[in-house]
Amino acid sequence: MIPARHRLLPALVLLLLACVPAQAQVRIKDIADVEGVRTNQLVGYGLVVGLAGTGDKLDSAVFTKQSLIGMLERLGVNTRDQEAKLSTKNVAAVMVTADLPAFARTGSRMDVTVSALGDASNLTGGTLLVTPLLAADGEVYAVAQGALATGAIAARGAAGSVTKGVPTSARMSNGATVEREVGFQLASRPKLRLGLRNPDLLTAHRMAEAIDRALGAGVAKATDPRTVALDLTGRDVVDALTRIESLRVEPDNAAIVVIDEASGTIVMGSNVRVSTVAIAQGNLTIRVTESADVSQPGPLSGGATVATPRTNIQVDDGSGHKMGVLNGNVTLRDLVASLNALGVGPRDMISILQSIKAAGALQADLEVR
């Protein structure tokens, strides 16, 4: 009979293995793109009708007036003689933008975004008329038309107004129909390239090794920090790419500290290291408070009530803050813990990181936005 402690040993080993953190591996499809498989930007100019008096003012938006007259003439309505009397406020000129998905076929639908071009105040409830969408080559690849949905709320009264969201920008789900396809035959291209979204030579090398282990030696080769070349000659290209996309690799991240001074946001990578450095943080703050004391004379004294000013001055020289020493090659967690122990806020931490970088003790790139 096996002793109880021996029966518990395998379960204890499995529990310890479960507690070991797994490597941060991600799929290749999440960090790289196949060359040529991309979206294409489309843009068009159109008219939105049916607005509740929130459209463009035709006297100031000349392009809206000319577009309206041209549209009516194409529909057989002559308004040239009455051009000066056109004063509708239910029409708005808009720009229509969309992203044509990769491998979009003729007749498929896609989303579009509609944005006011003139002085229209609200596009809610409007309907976009037929609008051709052009690419950079000047060809029409889709046509958009339909009802708009802004998702915004706008209310105005005599003494105030409330606006939630952006009423001059709307989105149309499946609002455009693809009329022209982008010619790209993926299955007939045995030689392709994978482009890393975050260029890194070590990550590209790891990707090439993982692909070679899965498909055979010589299939993949890292040519630069952003590109991994694939040679799929004699293979089913689509099947090979399906297997490649599901492979997992551990990406390597550069040591970088990103600072957004406008919002006080600091983001540091896990590979950030700091050499031995001493940090002292303290600010001189002078607070002046003015108040008034009322001097009330006694009864029948004949005196007058007077206000006596009183000034209270407080000085905080940061004497309670001490100097801290960070030992060499500390990690990101040690750096944050040390700065928090000094009572440093985000704004002061930005200045400290900039000073550490200037002293040559921050072993990372410092990017200030």
* DSSP category for residue 308: E
> By percentage, how much of the chain surpasses pLDDT 90?
36
pLDDT tens digits, 168-205: 999 999 999 999 998 888 888 889 999 999 899 999 99
Contact 259, 265 (CB under 8 A): yes
Query: Within 10 Å of residue 342's Cβ, how many Cβ atoms?
Result: 17
Name the nearest CA neighbour of 31 among 250, 345, 291, 255: 250
Contact between residue 41 and residue 142 where contact means Cβ atoms under 8 Å apart: no
The tens digit of pLDDT for each residue in 118-171 reads 888 889 889 999 999 999 999 999 999 999 988 777 666 666 667 777 889 999
What's at 95, amino acid-wise? M
pLDDT in tens, 243-259: 999 999 999 877 888 88
pLDDT at 77 over 70: yes
Q: Which tokens go with 270? A: 């896990």
Task: Report which of residues 66 and 23 the model is more confident about.
Answer: 66
pLDDT digits (tens, 9 = 90+) for 33-62: 998 888 999 999 999 999 988 888 888 888
Distances (CA, A) of 81 to 59, 67, 170, 178, 263: 16, 16, 34, 38, 56
d(CA 143, CA 100): 11
Q: How many residues would you count in the chain?
A: 369
CA-derived radius of gyration, the chain: 34
Q: Which residue has the higher pLDDT, 131 or 353?
A: 131
Question: Amino acid letter at 264?
Answer: G
Domain 186-249 has CATH 1.10.8: no
Residue span(s) of the chain under CATH 3.30.1360 come to: 186-249
